[in-house]
A = this chain, B = another copy of it.
């Protein structure tokens, strides 16, 4: 019993699954598999549709859109406690789409086979809510991406990104990576960063940006 409790306690990390009735918790634990994937693993992508739903226990998955000309945009990130629920849509996709999911760090996840996923959706209202809420969140993310790309200025979006993704005032990323993140060209990032630096908001070094004036950045980001 204690062993079982230890084995299924990952379920409680998912808000929305914790209320699941014991029988279904059992189904989840016995019929899913804990997997550990190294950084940069391609979880799904063109020509690689997944046959499992991943519930992330550790690490983050970056989902990005690829264009033929080699450019990219990041659509969203799934972090621990979330699921790659859009993969369930990919599982059924009649069309192979140009998005891919990549392990941004090493990840630990519970992999639920397609059939089990279907069983759970059928038998648990809580699980259904979990799934549809996850969908809702992801779709909202996509709406935000569209709004950003279509209607917001690059300088604002870049300032936001820097503030949002900096760790202790430092963002480790090359200009090219930031360009891929925002779906623009590397030169554009270089020029914007030069301007931010001129204003004294950041200091640059190879592969890293140090925030000197977070307030300045945030004020621009809030515009």
Q: Residues on A close to B: CB < 8 A?
A: 65, 67, 69, 71, 73, 75, 86, 88-90, 92-95, 97-99, 118, 121-123, 125, 128-129, 132-133, 135-137, 139-140, 142-143, 145-147, 149-151, 183
Partner of A136, one of B73, B90, B137: B90
Is A147 touching B65 in the complex (CB atoms < 8 A)? Answer: yes
This chain: how many copies in the complex? 2
Which of these, B67, B136, B149, contacts A94 with CB under 8 Å?
B136
Q: Which of A88, A137, A139, A150 has the most CB of B within 10 A?
A: A150
Query: Which residues of B lie under 8 Å from residue A137 when comparing CB positions?
Result: 94
* Distance from A127 Cβ to chain B, minimum over Cβ atoms (Å): 10
B125 touches A123 (CB 8 A): no
Task: Name 8 interchain pairs, CB-CB below 8 A, sorted by A.
Answer: A65-B150, A69-B151, A73-B146, A92-B133, A99-B143, A121-B121, A122-B123, A146-B146
| Contact indicator B97/A143 (Cβ below 8 Å) | yes
